[in-house]
Structure 1
Amino acid sequence: MGLLSNRVQRESLKPGDHIYSWRTAYIYAHHGIYVGDDKVIHFTRRGQEVGTGTVLDVLLISSGPARSHQPCSTCAPPEEGSGVMSSCLNCFLSGGVLYRFEYSVTPALFLAKARGGTCTLAVSDPDDVVVHRAKYLLENGFGCYNVFKNNCEDFAIYCKTGLLVVEQGTIGQSGQAVSIIGGPLAAVLSTPLRLVTTNLYGMAATAVAVYCASRYAADIGMRRDVVKMSAEDMTRRLATGLLQVVEPQISATPARGSPLLLTQ
């Protein structure tokens, strides 16, 4: 695994892998689940969506295949009104380089990464479960696209772990969304140091520390505001509007970083 990304060859892929490809000069990456037979299931802005109302919306254009890239004849047309679609690997990459998202990484390796959206501390479920979730959501949808709360990386992480952030007003599972927010936040929090010191190295070290801490605390493998939920239950709650208002019921207090188990 590299310190920036984990580039892999096509021959090494197996069904259930979470893969991604950088877009727009490494500003944003598009994520999906490889399901075998040269097919990738991924979540795009097609269908209902929620924008940010900021300049970040411009970056979302790069979250899908390039405009100049014409889908091949083997790619199935997307479901009407759903952002989840199936594409061949070439169409998914859209001329980009193939990378594999890593799970169960060590805290040291996680913090050594230059940016989010490439790995997580969380544990992946078995490959057959991952493929089942992706295929089920292809047929039933994954809600409305939102750059901070429900993007392509959120979709892929959910397929791999079954974990969802259910509290309103919080960021989703996406590591690259945390990076987008964490950078400016670190700069703002380090600014008061100018009142007591002119040491640029000290301010830079503080900004890096704040950035790393925000990424670590927001990682899906460390968060407490998550539940483990089946794809069937998740889509049922989406259809009834109960996904983000239901209170998780638990039998015991989980350990730090453990997901809440939602009961029926």
Structure 2
Amino acid sequence: MWILVNGAAFALYLLASFLARPRGPRSAAVAAPAMPAYRDAATVAMLLAWVAHSGTFILVLRGLHDPDFGFAPALSLTFWLVAAVYWIESLYYPLQGLRAWICLLAAISLLLTWIFPGDRPTPTGAGVAFALHWAMGIAAYGLFGAAVLHGLMLWSAERALHRRRPTLAGLGPALPLLTLEKLTYRLAALGFALLTASLVFAVSFSEKLFGHAFEFNHQTVFAVASWLLFAVLLLGRGMLGWRGRQALRWLFSGSALLLLSYVGSRFVLQVILHR
């Protein structure tokens, strides 16, 4: 059952990404009347894909599929959350340019769950406390993932303005840059709040969560380092008015360290060290 639901979500995400992909001026000019139909089909395909993607987690919650805390399921859940954030934002802002990229990345994350299924290790402190800690961390991943995609749109637009080059495929902003910038760092601030809560929870309940006192291992070091970078970013924007590439560098750097924290460490343990 899980394979069927996962496979359906994968196929629908790929279809939505194909339908939502940007089309060149020539093809757009020839088939201009058909473009709304393409957009509507992409919207339906993405919605069905997200529902099917949700079904994979429902199967786990209902005990019909074993939970897996490896790096691939974490990425899958992250992009499921990114897609959810996109849907909420798209109700208020035109963000069609992100759709093809989000669907493609979500499809890749599902594919990785097949290639690297792992051995479904159950954490020492698995239970309500661990589930809450893990959920806050993954929610932070999802919000920062959405912030990074918005940041890429900002970077692409600024690149086009300063160098007089076209924006990267699908990343041209469909709304004012100031609005896009506000959305980007609003998502980053929400992600920072959840990351803070997750770290405080880990420090306060380490014995219950992991079966030992809190320790600074490689995963914790990357998480704390990313938290510090995000803290500097938000302080810099609030107190020093950081904008543009300066702020984006901090956002991208912090997000890279956060990715290394859980997903990166799990990848090394699961794929390289086979633990």
Question: TM-score, normalized by length of structure 1?
Answer: 0.31
Structure whose CA Rg is larger: 2
Question: TM-score, normalized by length of structure 2?
Answer: 0.30
